[in-house]
Amino acid sequence: MGSGRIVFLGVTALAIYLGYKIKCALGPPPLVTLENDTYWGPGEPNNAWKENFLITPLNITVPDEVLEYLKWRLDTHRPMVPPLEGVQQQYGMNTKLLEDVIQYWKTEYNWTERQQYLNKYPQYKINIQGLQIHVVHRNSYADGYKVVPILLLHGWPGSVREFYEMIPYLTNPQEGRKVIFEVLAPYIPGYGFSQAAAKPGLGAAQMAVLFKNMMEKLGYDKFYVQGGDFGAIILQHMAVMYPDSILGFHSNMCLVHTPKALLRLMLGTIFPSWYVRPDHYDRVYPLREKVFEFYLRESGYFHLQATKPDTLGVGMNDSPMGIAAYILEKFVTGTNISWQLREDGGLKEAFSYRDLLDNIMIYWLTQSATTSFRLYSETFNKAHTELGFMRQPITVPTACARFKYDFYTADGVLGEIFTNLLQLTDHEGGHFAAFQLPKVLADDIYDAVEKFEEYNKKRKSIMNGDVWKNA
């Protein structure tokens, strides 16, 4: 054999090998299946939760001494370090603004009344995999409307409170609509009134299993799902794992974190139109300013929570001022990044002190700081990432609602994960869409579910052979 031929064969073999490696690196990994009954409660694992169908109705009640202690903490805190001259929220929460919030908290915020508000929807506790899950349930009925169940999942630093103004839109008949929703909105484990895991490993994938179990135990084998932030991430996992149970997936944070998408984002620095449509260039380019610098500046919290949640949690769990500052900063930057330059952070424009404090109270009263941070550690680690769920295509009918100041994913790459995207909408507004713009988000959900219903009807009739019979 001539040496030319050997070189040729060698190069060909290398090319085939590299092609295969690139294909593996760019495509989804093999789909794995998780245990569906892992026990997350304290102590010896047991299966009592499987046999026990106890669904306990309850209301939120906070003992007086806890509220008195809070009042004492607010009254006796050390003087705050004043902000630098001429600085608003660029260094984080402005302490003058925080003082204003604390003043309101001490003098006008009335927990007795807010607790009544939080108790306006029926709530239940149910034990799933050893954890007491607190779920808000709003049933609905109206003549001539089809009632469909929907699971709403919140994220960090949110809570079920974010959905309170949206629930009436979903559960009362809306003009011109055909469906009406039965809402199930659980606090995710370690957040607010749901018990936190006692054992390591409860990340987004494992929470997807837990909420599927919850829905099953509550008697729903098929349902719609909606979420933003970590709720959306948990639901992306759920849509991969249980496509047959999910009638449709509505997300206000559709994420595509695939190597291919990243490659296209990079190539877009040369030709932006390879990645993003022209009217959205400025959402991601120039990459250095809009992505790299932006994430470096705004994602410190993420790195801390994903690596040392317990250290960070000590102060955040202890100090009501601390957790308030930490959470409020996110409501400023997540709602409209340019509000960093405002003295009032825009807080009263998009929300109200009262409603923001409801959410902060839910964290402080239930001591959720540390346990909520841990979701980042349990999700953004090597073992969890290697499960590869975030790289799997999602086949269930999906709707993505993109809010202007939220994480952005370009139209062209959405299809890499959401292979059955039936609706893509753009809205003004920020990361906390349900809380900030309940009517806008509710309308978007209705629009999507009408499309999902239509799609599912067609698919069902094809599977039943109706199409052939009618032909």
Ligand X SMILES: *[C@@H]1O[C@H](CO)[C@@H](O)[C@H](O)[C@H]1NC(C)=O
Stretch that binds ligand X, among 143-151, 335-343, 377-385, 453-461 (CB under 6 A): 335-343
Query: Is 139 among the residues that bind ligand X (CB under 6 A)?
Result: no
Query: Is 338 among the residues that bind ligand X (CB under 6 A)?
Result: yes
Query: Is 282 among the residues that bind ligand X (CB under 6 A)?
Result: no
Stretch that binds ligand X, among 52-60, 65-73, 97-105, 226-234 (CB under 6 A): 52-60
Shortest CB 165 distance to ligand X, Å = 18
Shortest CB 125 distance to ligand X, Å = 10
Shortest CB 113 distance to ligand X, Å = 4
Shortest CB 443 distance to ligand X, Å = 17
Q: Which of residues 428, 439, 466, 467 is near ligand X by CB under 6 A?
A: 428
Shortest CB 336 distance to ligand X, Å = 4
- For ligand X, the closer of residues 52 and 56 by Cβ is 56
Shortest CB 418 distance to ligand X, Å = 25
Shortest CB 289 distance to ligand X, Å = 17
Structure tokens at 77: 């805190």
Where in the sequence numbering do the catalytic residues fall?
Answer: 229, 376, 431
Query: Is 110 among the residues that bind ligand X (CB under 6 A)?
Result: yes
Q: Which of residues 30, 57, 176, 219 is near ligand X by CB under 6 A?
A: 57
CA distances from 237 to 233, 313, 391 (A): 7, 27, 10
The contact pattern for ligand X, residues 59-78, with x = CB under 6 A and - = no contact, is: x-------------------
Query: Is 273 among the residues that bind ligand X (CB under 6 A)?
Result: no
Q: Which of residues 44, 51, 113, 175 is near ligand X by CB under 6 A?
A: 113
- For ligand X, the closer of residues 336 and 372 by Cβ is 336
Stretch that binds ligand X, among 62-70, 109-117, 152-160, 257-265 (CB under 6 A): 109-117
The contact pattern for ligand X, residues 361-400, with x = CB under 6 A and - = no contact, is: ----------------------------------------
Instruction: Report how many residues bind ligand X under the rule CB under 6 A.
Output: 13
d(CA 102, CA 447): 40
Half-sphere exposure (Cβ direction) of 215: Cα atoms closer than 13 Å? 25
Shortest CB 252 distance to ligand X, Å = 15
Q: Which of residues 3, 33, 112, 470 is near ligand X by CB under 6 A?
A: 112
Q: Is 71 exposed, middle or buried, given 0-12, 13-18 or 19+ CB atoms closer than 10 A?
A: middle
- Of residues 354, 459, 393, 380, the one with CA closest to residue 260: 393
Stretch that binds ligand X, among 54-62, 155-163, 196-204, 230-238 (CB under 6 A): 54-62
Three-state SS letters, the chain: CCHHHHHHHHHHHHHHHHHHHHHHHHCCCCCCCCCCCCCCCCCCCCCHHHHCCCEEEECCCCCHHHHHHHHHHHHHCCCCCCCCCCCCCCCCCCHHHHHHHHHHHHHCCCHHHHHHHHCCCCEEEEEECCEEEEEEEECCCCCCCEEEEEEEECCCCCCHHHHCCCHHHHHCCCCCCCEEEEEEEECCCCCCCCCCCCCCCCCHHHHHHHHHHHHHHCCCCCEEEEECHHHHHHHHHHHHHCCCCEEEEEECCCCCCCHHHHHHHHHCCCCHHHCCCHHHHHHHCCHHHHHHHHHHHHCHHHHHHHHCHHHHHHHHHHCHHHHHHHHHHHHHHHHCHHHHHCCCCCHHHHCCHHHHHHHHHHHHHCCCHHHHHHHHHHHCCHHHHHHCHHHCCECCCEEEEEECCCCCCCHHHHHHHECCEEEEEEECCCCCHHHHCHHHHHHHHHHHHHHHHHHHHHHHHHHCCHHHHHC
- For ligand X, the closer of residues 124 and 274 by Cβ is 124
Query: Is 119 among the residues that bind ligand X (CB under 6 A)?
Result: yes
Query: Is 311 among the residues that bind ligand X (CB under 6 A)?
Result: no
- For ligand X, the closer of residues 3 and 112 by Cβ is 112
- For ligand X, the closer of residues 251 and 336 by Cβ is 336
Stretch that binds ligand X, among 57-65, 248-256, 319-327, 453-461 (CB under 6 A): 57-65
Binding site for ligand X (CB under 6 A): 57-59, 110, 112-113, 119, 336, 338-339, 404, 428-429
